[in-house]
Amino acid sequence: MRNFFLYCFFLGFTVNGQYQLSDTILIEHHLKEIINTPKPRSYQNIESLNQVANYLHSSFLFATDSVRFQEYTAIGNTYKNVIASFCPEKKQRIIIGAHYDVCGNQDGADDNASGVVGLLELARLLKGVELNYRVDLVAYSLEEPPFFRSEQMGSYIHAKSLHDEKIDVVGMICLEMIGYFNDEPGSQRFPLRSLKLIYGDRGDFITTVKKMYAGRFARKFAKAMKNTELISSRIFKGPKRLAGLDFSDHQNYWHFHYSSVMITNTSFYRNANYHQKTDTLQTLDLKKMAAVIETVYRALIAYSKEN
């Protein structure tokens, strides 16, 4: 079985000459590796966080030689971001990130093992692809409370390092909860009741979230996501103060004025398992999750070619 996964990393699956992410076996394998740690991967359990960070590092190495840890200190402990780079010789940079820690005693399958697996699958797809930009895939630690909205978030550390080094960042994509879907009527809620008339009441779509006046990258990437049509896709924009709009790592790139979006299934507006022990692998729709990841990949390629 190990040889099968190695084969997937090196070659991928193709249909009509294009990589396909309908490979739910590999996605499930990654999810299990991230979830099955000795203790939940919360900030208190450094051993579990390091186990996941090491797995991500070794997995990224199947796709690129340019992989590193970004270590930093918080509450007296060392935490790690894991960064994999593609086309590192390019000057301008696109960041795609997802956090791998959890809130409390839970598996955190949707929040946010799903987003981190998105990074691993994107790495597989990006292997050997020539792009007009450098793409950095970044797995963050410490997104969850008590560090949320603090300068100890892994994404704040990373975004600040880009700013301090004066890196030319084109844009940032945050993957936050991309595995839970529900086709039942009434399964989707919204921060504003009026949105139900526009988007319906079924949690069967993926959303590209951006703030008002989010910049050129956010606008064009959101459009590319919607045009891919592998999965029902919505674009949502609103004022930054709207509840939920900045509830992930992209908020720190906004802070440093980088054009950024969040790709999400809308989190607690759909998934009742949010921050609960019931957020398990069995609740995820791996086929739709695969379609989301491939949509991000195709939108990234489309943006690279057209800009």
Within the chain, what is the greatest distance between any pair of CA atoms?
52
Return d(Cα 129, Cα 145) in angstroms, integer. Answer: 37
Distance from C-alpha of 198 to C-alpha of 41, rounded to nearest angstrom: 37
Residue-wise pLDDT for 231-241, tens only, equals 999 999 988 78
The CATH code of the domain that includes 228 is 3.40.630.10
Return the sign of the alpha-carbon dihedral for residues 16, 263, 73, 79: negative
**% of residues, the chain, pLDDT over 90:** 85
Q: Which domain holds residue 47?
A: 2-306
pLDDT per residue as tens digits for the range 49-83: 999 999 999 999 999 999 999 999 999 999 999 99
pLDDT-derived band at 6, boundaries 50, 70, 90? low
280-299, pLDDT tens digit by residue?
999 999 999 999 999 999 99
Question: Into how many domains does the chain fold?
Answer: 1
pLDDT tens, residue by residue, 131-182: 999 999 999 999 999 999 999 999 999 999 999 999 999 999 999 999 999 9
pLDDT for the residue 22: 52
